[in-house]
């Protein structure tokens, strides 16, 4: 489903975030990418979603070479993913409901079906009662769950999460971990960049450890 071969990512200024990385993630897997800060975890995720282009090597997602993708095709590639960020990237000028509606609005979903799906996604993360609340009124854990609802509402095949539990205390982190497990159980490929070892111990995922831009094991 996702395969990297000989991928190197060099940032302007000469920093090499990834060096000759080759790996394959199969459909339906739950994968944790771990390593120290600056080991290249975030870069790896960004390359998958075409937020960055590799300096050399190829990144193939669903049979498409991301490096060779035309700019016009990039949005359609991104619709395969549900993206979750440490800083959530919620829009604070609209309600929880409207935040989750955004991916469906973008793909031009039929209104009634869209409303139904948004409610289902909010229900899944336990925020249905707060659909009219603005993100500022939500706690950190609720904001992260809202971001997850937005990431899954269009039912993507792959969920990419960058430090999803980074800012949360243990109880909230455990809740989030359970959510990821449940998505994985219905066949969603889940890729999480994290250094949360408790979460790894709980979910028992496949581990990819990065060390100074290389795959360590």
Q: Work out how close the CB of 109 gets to another protein at its nearest, in angstroms, rounded to a whole number.
A: 6
Question: Does position 170 bind another protein by CB under 8 A?
Answer: no
Which CB atom, from 157 or from 203, has the smaller least distance to another protein?
A: 157
Q: Which is nearer to another protein, 30 or 50 (CB)?
A: 50
Is there a contact between 165 and 177 (Cβ–Cβ < 8 Å)? yes
Figure out which of the listed residues 75, 132, 197, 216 binds another protein, where binding follows CB under 8 A. Answer: 75
Among the listed residues 40, 57, 103, 213, the single contact to another protein using CB under 8 A: 103
The least distance separating another protein from the CB of residue 106, rounded to whole angstroms, comes to 4
CA–CA distance, 96 with 146 (Å, rounded to integer): 7
Element housing 181 (H / E):
helix 170-185
Which is closer to another protein, CB of 108 or CB of 187? 108
Which residues have C-beta within 8 Å of that of residue 93, sequence separation ≥ 6? none
Pick from 108, 187, 201, 217: which binds another protein (CB under 8 A)? 108
* 191 in Cβ contact with 25 (< 8 Å): yes
- 51 contacts another protein (rule: CB under 8 A): yes
Could you give the CA distance from residue 99 to residue 95 in angstroms, rounded to a whole number? 6
- In this structure, is the dihedral angle defined by the CA atoms of residues 89, 94, 95 and 101, taken in order, positive or negative? negative
> How far apart, in whole angstroms, are the C-alpha atoms of residue 33 and residue 27?
16
Q: Where does this chain touch another protein (CB under 8 A) — which range of 28-36, 87-95, 137-145, 181-189?
A: 87-95
Q: Which residues bind another protein (CB under 8 A)?
A: 49, 51, 72, 75-79, 81, 83, 89, 91, 93, 102-103, 105-111, 150
């Amino acid at each position: 489903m996702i395969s990297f071969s000989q991928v190197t990512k060099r940032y302007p200024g000469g920093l090499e975030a990834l060096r000759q990385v080759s790996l394959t993630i199969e459909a339906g897997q739950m994968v944790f990418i771990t390593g120290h800060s600056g080991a290249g975890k975030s870069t790896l995720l960004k390359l998958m979603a075409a937020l960055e282009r590799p300096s050399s090597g190829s990144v193939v997602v669903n049979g498409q070479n991301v490096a060779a993708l035309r700019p016009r095709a990039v949005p359609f590639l991104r619709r395969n993913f549900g993206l979750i960020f440490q800083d959530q990237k919620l829009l604070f000028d609209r309600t929880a409901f409207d935040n989750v509606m955004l991916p469906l609005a973008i793909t031009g979903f039929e209104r009634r079906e869209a409303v139904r799906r948004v409610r289902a996604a909010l229900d899944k993360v336990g925020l249905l009662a707060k659909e009219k609340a603005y993100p500022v009124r939500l706690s950190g854990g609720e904001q992260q769950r809202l971001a997850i609802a937005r990431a899954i509402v269009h039912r993507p095949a792959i969920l990419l999460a960058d430090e999803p539990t980074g800012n949360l205390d243990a109880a909230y982190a455990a809740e989030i971990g359970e959510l990821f497990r449940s998505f994985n159980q219905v066949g969603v490929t889940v890729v999480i960049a994290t250094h949360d070892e408790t979460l790894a111990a709980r979910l028992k995922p496949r581990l990819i450890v990065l060390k100074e831009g290389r795959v360590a094991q």
